[in-house]
């Protein structure tokens, strides 16, 4: 399976240039022209790396990088027309993996992409074998979720990782800190609602009524618990 890149830039010519080059070297490529379409893409696609323009018509790329990093471990390369060192430092501190200034040599861009993907490593699975709950099947080998009716449910990288943590810890209360550590290797801050946002998105995909969840239960003052019985095989 080829790695999936998401190009986020309001310049259609740049998107076309990047897409043509990157698909030509074997990557799967999707596009977004603004922050709204970026968020929509991340809700529906499993993306390995985002090429994120710093200046979008409806948002600042640095702010978006922080937002994305709070909810996902996806690779992020910020692309900018600014070349100031302080911009690069801020971008990296906000969670970007790399930062490259325009004009961009496509061979350098490819090298940066490969470097980030190599550092982040392949998508990890904790154990072989499908995990089943209430007619649903989660397949770690392909990172896919199949509904009871046999349809594949598209999960983002963050949604898959969160569900994977839940199904491997059924009937156990997991605090926000435990979930944040498992997904992003850090504790949740006192006002950090990233886990709640991810849980809400995941519920909308697997619960018959997300407002009254049967699978991912909220435990007041403690965190969340995955209620179904899980079997492997």
Q: Within this chain, do residues 110 and 155 fall inside the same structural domain, yes or no?
A: no
User: Which ranges in 126-224 belong to alpha helices (H)?
Assistant: 157-167, 176-184, 194-206
Q: Within this chain, do residues 89 and 154 fall inside the same structural domain, yes or no?
A: no
Among 85, 101, 120, residue at a domain's last position: 120
pLDDT at 185: 56
Q: Within this chain, do residues 153 and 100 fall inside the same structural domain, yes or no?
A: no
pLDDT at 3: 87
Judged against a pLDDT cut of 80, whether residue 67 lies above it is answered with yes
Q: What is the CATH number of the domain that holds 103?
A: 3.40.50.2300
Q: Within this chain, do residues 136 and 84 fall inside the same structural domain, yes or no?
A: no
pLDDT, the chain, mean: 85
Q: Within this chain, do residues 106 and 143 fall inside the same structural domain, yes or no?
A: no
**226: Cα separation from own chain's centroid:** 21
In this prediction, residues 146-159 reach a mean pLDDT of 91
Q: Give the separation between CA 149 and CA 4, rounded to whole angstroms.
A: 27
Q: Within this chain, do residues 136 and 114 fall inside the same structural domain, yes or no?
A: no
Q: What is the CATH number of the domain that holds 147?
A: 1.10.10.10
Name the DSSP class of 21.
H
116, containing H or E segment: helix 106-120
Within-domain flag for 126 = no
Within-domain flag for 222 = yes
Within-domain flag for 51 = yes
Strand partners, 52: 8, 78
Provide the domain limits for residue 71.
4-120
Among 85, 120, 155, residue at a domain's last position: 120
pLDDT at 126: 47
Q: Within this chain, do residues 81 and 157 fall inside the same structural domain, yes or no?
A: no
Among 80, 101, 120, residue at a domain's last position: 120
pLDDT band (50, 70, 90) for residue 102: confident
Q: Within this chain, do residues 154 and 226 fall inside the same structural domain, yes or no?
A: yes
pLDDT at 1: 47
Q: Within this chain, do residues 28 and 84 fall inside the same structural domain, yes or no?
A: yes
Within-domain flag for 172 = yes
Judged against a pLDDT cut of 80, whether residue 233 lies above it is answered with no
Within-domain flag for 125 = no
Q: Within this chain, do residues 64 and 157 fall inside the same structural domain, yes or no?
A: no
The H helix count followed by the E strand count for the chain is: 8, 15
In this prediction, residues 76-97 reach a mean pLDDT of 71
Q: How many CB atoms are closer than 10 A to CB 123?
A: 16
Judged against a pLDDT cut of 70, whether residue 123 lies above it is answered with no
Q: Within this chain, do residues 103 and 143 fall inside the same structural domain, yes or no?
A: no
Q: Within this chain, do residues 8 and 105 fall inside the same structural domain, yes or no?
A: yes
pLDDT band (50, 70, 90) for residue 187: very low
Give the strand pairing for 28-32 and 55-56.
Answer: unpaired
């Amino acid at each position: 399976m080829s790695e999936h890149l998401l190009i986020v830039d309001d310049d259609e010519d740049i998107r076309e240039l990047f897409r043509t080059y990157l698909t030509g070297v074997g990557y799967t490529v999707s596009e977004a022209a603004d922050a709204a379409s970026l968020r929509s893409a991340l809700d529906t696609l499993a993306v390995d790396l985002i090429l994120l323009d710093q200046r979008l018509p409806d948002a600042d790329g640095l702010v978006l990088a922080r937002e994305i990093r709070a909810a996902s471990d996806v690779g992020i390369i910020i692309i900018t027309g600014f070349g100031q060192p302080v911009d690069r430092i801020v971008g990296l501190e906000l969670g970007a993996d790399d930062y490259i200034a325009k004009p961009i040599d496509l061979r350098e861009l490819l090298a940066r992409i490969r470097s980030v993907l190599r550092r982040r490593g392949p998508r990890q699975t904790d154990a072989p074998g499908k995990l089943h709950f209430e007619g649903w099947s989660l397949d770690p080998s392909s990172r896919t979720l199949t509904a009871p009716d046999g349809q594949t449910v598209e999960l983002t990288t963050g949604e898959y990782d969160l569900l994977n943590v839940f199904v491997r810890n059924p009937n156990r209360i997991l605090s926000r800190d435990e979930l944040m550590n498992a997904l992003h290797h850090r504790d949740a801050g006192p006002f950090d609602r990233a886990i709640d946002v991810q849980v809400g998105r995941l519920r909308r995909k697997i619960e018959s009524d997300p407002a009254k969840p049967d699978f991912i239960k909220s435990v007041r003052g403690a965190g969340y618990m995955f209620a179904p019985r899980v079997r492997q095989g």
